Chains A and B, each alone.
Chain A
């Protein structure tokens, strides 16, 4: 079975633009979480979605938003991009919500110029 897939793999944007990142969970998994990993640091929790509803939210500004679709795939949207948003954005899926083992994709590398 395919693992968590994320697209695109790399993205370059300029300050002030917006970006949409996409994630498809492992088949049969109904929950998706998003993390931001700045170079040299551990991932930071942004959101968890389960059954198309936001269930958890980390300490990120309202410029960050997400949604989950009926097929359980998800999008992360970031508006008004700042230089500090440059990071690897990781998506993780679990079979149900909560703290079941989270399986990560390889991420989207976002660079802000």
Chain B
């Protein structure tokens, strides 16, 4: 119930394309959903995050769509560029969790995105 399932494992698009990465969760207590971008040799960097009270959030070329009833959320990257080539992780947490789950982010397995010039 604590898992976050992410797909696809890898994705190749041409420059200007719109890659879409999907995540699904089971724990209905999750109420904070961030996306992270990770380049080789670097730590994950926070891109954008959403809470269940909104269905969509945009920041620059990055858009999160959220479907609470389906327990799914996705990341869209508009006008993708070769510099966007990286591994993307979705994550989820229960902000009211206490005990051992306090502060815990549960990550998906990651999607390796390649944007060809």
Interface residues of chain A, those whose CB is within 8 Å of chain B, are 4, 31, 33, 35, 40-45, 48, 50, 55-58, 90, 92, 94, 97-99, 101-107
Interface presence of B49 (CB below 8 A): yes
Shortest CB-to-CB span from B63 to chain A, Å, is 18
Closest to A109 in B: B41
Take A90-B43, A106-B42, A107-B43 as given contacts and tell me if A41 and B103 are in contact as well, using a CB distance cutoff of 8 Å.
no
Chain B interface main SS type: mixed
The interface size bin for chain B is: 20 to 34
Interface residues of chain B, those whose CB is within 8 Å of chain A, are 4, 6, 32, 34, 36, 41-46, 49, 89, 91, 93-95, 99-110
Shortest CB-to-CB span from A87 to chain B, Å, is 13
CA of A104 to CA of B36 in the docked complex: distance in angstroms?
Answer: 10
CA of A94 to CA of B107 in the docked complex: distance in angstroms?
Answer: 17
| Contact residues in B for A33 (Cβ distance below 8 Å) | 103, 105
Take A104-B44, A106-B41 as given contacts and tell me if A42 and B109 are in contact as well, using a CB distance cutoff of 8 Å.
yes
